[in-house]
Amino acid sequence: MSTTLELAIELMRRPSVTPEDAGCQALLGERLAALGFEIEPLPCGEVTNLWARRGTARPLFCFAGHTDVVPPGPLAQWTSPPFEPTIRNGQLYGRGACDMKGALAAMITATEDFLAAHPHPAGSIAFLITSDEEGLARDGTVKVVERLESRGEKIDYCLVGEPSSNERLGDLVKNGRRGSLNGRLTVHGEQGHVAYPQRAKNPLHLFAPVLAELVTEVWDQGNAFFPPTSLQITKLDMDAGAENVIPGKLEAQFNLRFSTELEADTIRHRVETILDRGGLDYDLAWRLSGNPFLTSEGTLLDATQAAIAEILGIDARFSTAGGTSDGRFIAPTGAQVVEIGPVNATIHQIDECVGVRELAQLADIYTRILEKLLAEP
C-alpha cells in the first residue's frame, strides 16, 4: 500500500460532509508541519480553512483543494459504507475518493517526495485548503484569498486537485472555467377561477413567450477556449393549492454559464431588457457564483502538460468545460491556474471510487510538476 493510498484512506474515514472538516485539515497540517511549513488556520463561521506555506521566496506554488464532501445519499445503495474506504478490483471506494481526498493525499506525498530530493527549492510551496467548496463557497477559499491579498501575499502558480480527467488520468486538464450567474424570478399575475380566466391573469401564460425568447437568445458565439454562453431553466413552479384555481404568481430559477466574451452586468441587463419588453410584473434577484477565468498559456501549463507526457505517455488536452471550482477565486489575483485530478466518472455518485494505481500516478505527476517549476538550478 503506497503512502498516498494510506493517507487517502485515513482522510476518507472522516465524515466531512460540507461544511464539516472532521479533522482532515489537522491531519494534513501535521504532515506539512513536519516538512517545515508554517501552519495558519483561518476559520470563518462554520467553515474550516487552512493556509500552510514553506519558504518566502518567489515564485509561490500553491496546491489548492477541499476536505468537504457531498452527502453520501441513501446508505443502503452503497456496496460498502461510504466512510469505510474499501478496495475492490483495484479501485478505492468511498465518499471523497476522487472528489477530492485522493488528490489531497497525492499533493501531500508529492510534496514530501519533492522536498526529500530538493530540500532547498527555488521558490516557495503553499497549501490552501477549505471545507466550503461543495457548499455555498462563501467562507472558504474566497476568504483566504482576501486575507492573502490584504497582506500582499501573491500566488504565482496554483494547482487545483479537482477531478478533471475524463476517460483516463491526465487526458484532460482544466485551464479555466465558465462563469456562473443565477437568477430567481417571480412573475406576478392575478389569481382567479379557471372557469373565469378573463377575471384572472395567468402568470405562466404571461411568461411563456418571454421564456421562449430567453432560451433562444444567442448570448455570444464563445471563443477558442469557451463554448457559447447558455441559459438553462432549473425551476418553474406555480401552485394555488387547488386544481380549479389559476395561481397568482410563478417562480422560476435559471442559470447562465458564460464565457469570457461576456460580463455578468451585461447579462443582467440583457435578461431584464427581455423581461421588460414582455410587459411582465416581476421581481428578480441575482447571485453571481463566479466569473469566468482562463490561463491560456504560461509556465504552469507547459510544466503540467510535460509532466503528464513523461509519467503517462499521453498528450493532455486543455478544457474549460464543467462546473465551477475554487480556481475562480484565485485566478483574479494574477495567478496561473490549472486543475488536474482523477477521472471524474463517479464524482457525487453512489459508490464513488478512484483507481489505486491512478492515485500513485497522480502523486508522481504532482512531484514532476514541482520539479519542473521549483527544483534548484
pLDDT for 81-124, tens place per residue?
999 999 999 999 999 999 999 999 999 999 999 999 999 999 99
Per-residue pLDDT reduced to its tens digit, 309-319: 999 999 999 99
DSSP assignment letter at 101: I
Q: Determine whether 133 is an active site residue.
A: yes
Residue 324 has a pLDDT of: 84
Residue 144 makes CB contacts below 8 A (sequence gap 6+) with 42, 49, 51, 128, 130
Mean local confidence (pLDDT), 150-176: 97
Band the pLDDT of 321: cuts 50, 70, 90: confident
Q: What is the pTM (predicted TM-score) of this model?
A: 0.90
C-alpha cell at 94: 468511498
For residue 62, the cross-strand partners are 126, 158
Q: Determine whether 213 is an active site residue.
A: no
Q: Which of 68, 113, 162, 326 is catalytic?
A: 68
Closest of 316, 255, 320 to residue 289, by C-alpha? 255
Whole-angstrom CA distances from 306 to 309, 365, 371 are: 5, 9, 11
- Per-residue pLDDT for 234 more than 90? yes
Q: Which of 20, 113, 133, 156 is catalytic?
A: 133
Band the pLDDT of 357: cuts 50, 70, 90: very high
Residue 377 has a pLDDT of: 80
Residue 93 has a pLDDT of: 98
- Per-residue pLDDT for 322 more than 90? no
* SS3 state of residue 93: strand
Residue 98, CB half-sphere, CA atoms under 13 Å: how many? 29
Which residue carries 410584473 as its cell?
Answer: 281
Written as one string, the DSSP assignment of 32-81 is: HHTTTPEEEE--BTTB-EEEEEE-SPSSEEEEEEE--B-----GGG-SS-
Residue 155 has a pLDDT of: 98
Cα–Cα distance for residue pair 322/290, rounded to 1 Å:
13
C-alpha cell at 58: 518567489
